[in-house]
Amino acid sequence: MASTDHVTTDSAPTGGRSLDDRAGRLAVEDGRLLVSGDWVLAHHGALKDQVAAHRQAAGEPSADQAVDLSGLTGLDTAGARLLVALVGAEPMADVRQWAADLPRARQALLETVARVLREPLEPEPSPRATLTDGLVDVGERVGALWQQQRLLLGFIGLTLTTLFVNLLRPWRWRLTALVSHVHQTGLNAVPIVALLTFLVGAVVAFLGATVLRDFGATIFTVNLVAFAFLREFGVLLAAILLAGRTASAFTAQIGAMKANEEIDAIRALGLDPMELLVLPRLLAMMIVLPILTFIGMLSGILGGALVCIFMLDISATQFLTILQRDIPLNHFLVGMVKAPVFAFLIAVIGCLEGFKVTGSAQSVGEHTTSSVVQSIFMVILLDAVAALFFMEMGW
């Protein structure tokens, strides 16, 4: 259909006649339907009214209706569509037989429009998925994952290089941006981290008490809550919350700048986007996550303590005594050591996905989603590896 849109060159005004003089007309004479003038998009509204009035007076088009197209001076796809509605798709498909004097280009256009209207195009059935197609899809996904990890490792190397270079140049530190990101990513996240870890601490205490009650060992609920939050839950829940809350913000901010060509403008000014955009966010995350981890540990233990005090008849003094006597300091250190590593990964992934935005709003959304998924996956994977390592080391 697109190729037939060029059949409009003969509809231009010639010989001083105005466009209105060449407008298409429809008349009935001696039982014949006379079509004249330009049946083009410019006159579509008036022609549509004429066709509607004729069909209202004469009814549906008949196959034996005599039609005279000799007065047709201009035709495009819009006009052909009206003519097919006027005459009927079946007769118009045989236009070469009863309108042999019509130029071939117009005959072809009318036949094409009639054929499409008579036999609407149906979507091709999708091919059945085979085992080979599934293997190809798996291979493509594995290849894309490998390329993504290579890109992540390269970006980590570039980030570390820029960080070490700037550590030796205090005059290039961007303290204002650093403080702003610390406020946005840290202070604003304290309520949600504290509330979530408090509730999870209460749930862990409930579950532990339910299981340990059968063995007469409800007192060890204190140890369970302390171990869980000092080693795992405190840092893990804070990191997951920042992955969903902050990594997505980093990606959206940098992605929007990429889409608006602001990063190109930064490079044109002789500035380094890594130094200007990545390092403040990275350092802010590495400062904030250990603080949020500590707050999460305290809130989780507090939630467990309230359950022990009000549900298990364990006094606050007894709870604190067990914590001081039976919980070594190394459990706290294990949890705190993981916080900067998780923060580094979350910040790097969030910034990298922002730089990968191609320039559309859809791309910003896709990479924002990707940054959250990748950050949470990498945090949980690294936490599992760290748990196995510390267990084998006896720490």
Looking at residue 223, its amino acid is: N
Q: Which two tokens stand for residue 286?
A: 């590495």
From 95, 90, 115, select the one nearest 107 (Cα to Cα). 95
Residue-level pLDDT at 69:
76
Q: Based on the domain organization, do 232 and 367 belong to the same domain?
A: yes
Higher pLDDT, 122 or 181: 181
Q: Which two tokens stand for residue 197?
A: 């870890």
Looking at residue 16, its amino acid is: G
Q: Based on the domain organization, do 218 and 365 belong to the same domain?
A: yes
* Average of per-residue pLDDT across 349-368: 85
Q: Based on the domain organization, do 269 and 369 belong to the same domain?
A: yes
Q: Based on the domain organization, do 28 and 174 belong to the same domain?
A: no
Higher pLDDT, 16 or 45: 45
CB 369 within 8 A of CB 261: no
- Which of 73, 94, 118 is the C-terminal boundary of a domain? 118
Q: Based on the domain organization, do 236 and 369 belong to the same domain?
A: yes
CB 35 within 8 A of CB 62: no
DSSP 269: T
Half-sphere exposure of 125 (CA within 13 A, CB side): 3
DSSP 360: S
pLDDT band for position 10 (cuts 50, 70, 90): very low
58 vs 174: CA distance, rounded Å: 81
Higher pLDDT, 145 or 9: 145
Question: Is residue 134 situated within a structural domain?
Answer: no
Question: Is residue 123 situated within a structural domain?
Answer: no
Looking at residue 353, its amino acid is: E
Q: Alpha-carbon Rg of the chain, whole angstroms?
A: 37
Q: Based on the domain organization, do 113 and 203 belong to the same domain?
A: no
Q: Based on the domain organization, do 174 and 67 belong to the same domain?
A: no
Residue-level pLDDT at 288:
92
- Indicate if the alpha-carbon torsion angle 360, 361, 366, 370 is positive or negative: positive
Residue-level pLDDT at 2:
35
17 vs 48: CA distance, rounded Å: 23
Q: Based on the domain organization, do 96 and 182 belong to the same domain?
A: no
Residues whose CB is less than 8 angstroms from the CB of residue 117 and which lie 6 or more positions away in sequence, other chains included: 81, 84, 89
Number of domains present in the structure of the chain = 2
| Mean confidence (pLDDT) of the chain | 81
- Which of 73, 91, 118 is the C-terminal boundary of a domain? 118
pTM listed for this prediction: 0.64
pLDDT band for position 107 (cuts 50, 70, 90): confident
Question: Is residue 194 situated within a structural domain?
Answer: yes
Q: Which two tokens stand for residue 290?
A: 């250990």
Q: What would the pLDDT profile of 225-262 be if each residue is shown by its tens digit?
A: 998 899 889 999 999 999 888 888 889 888 888 888 88
Tokens 């940098």 belong to 254
- Which of 118, 145, 166 is the C-terminal boundary of a domain? 118
Q: Based on the domain organization, do 181 and 256 belong to the same domain?
A: yes
Q: Based on the domain organization, do 63 and 192 belong to the same domain?
A: no
Most confident range (mean pLDDT) of 26-35, 74-83, 105-114, 310-319 is 310-319
Residue-level pLDDT at 201:
92
Residue-level pLDDT at 31:
67
36 DSSP β-pair partners: 25, 71
Residues whose CB is less than 8 angstroms from the CB of residue 369 and which lie 6 or more positions away in sequence, other chains included: 248
Instruction: Tell me which residue range forms the domain holding 80.
Output: 2-118
Question: Is residue 99 situated within a structural domain?
Answer: yes
Model confidence at 278: pLDDT above 80: yes
Model confidence at 87: pLDDT above 80: no
Question: Is residue 145 situated within a structural domain?
Answer: no
Residue-level pLDDT at 61:
63
Q: Based on the domain organization, do 175 and 259 belong to the same domain?
A: yes
Q: What would the pLDDT profile of 43-60 be if each residue is shown by its tens digit?
A: 778 888 877 877 777 766
Q: Which two tokens stand for residue 149?
A: 């990890």
For the beta sheet containing 25-29, the strands, ordered from the edge strand earlier in sequence to the opposite edge, are 25-29, 32-39, 66-75
Question: Is residue 381 situated within a structural domain?
Answer: yes
Question: Is residue 83 situated within a structural domain?
Answer: yes
Question: Is residue 39 situated within a structural domain?
Answer: yes
Q: Based on the domain organization, do 98 and 194 belong to the same domain?
A: no
Looking at residue 94, its amino acid is: D
25 DSSP β-pair partners: 36
DSSP one-letter string for 39-54: ESGGGHHHHHHHHHHH
Length of the chain: 395
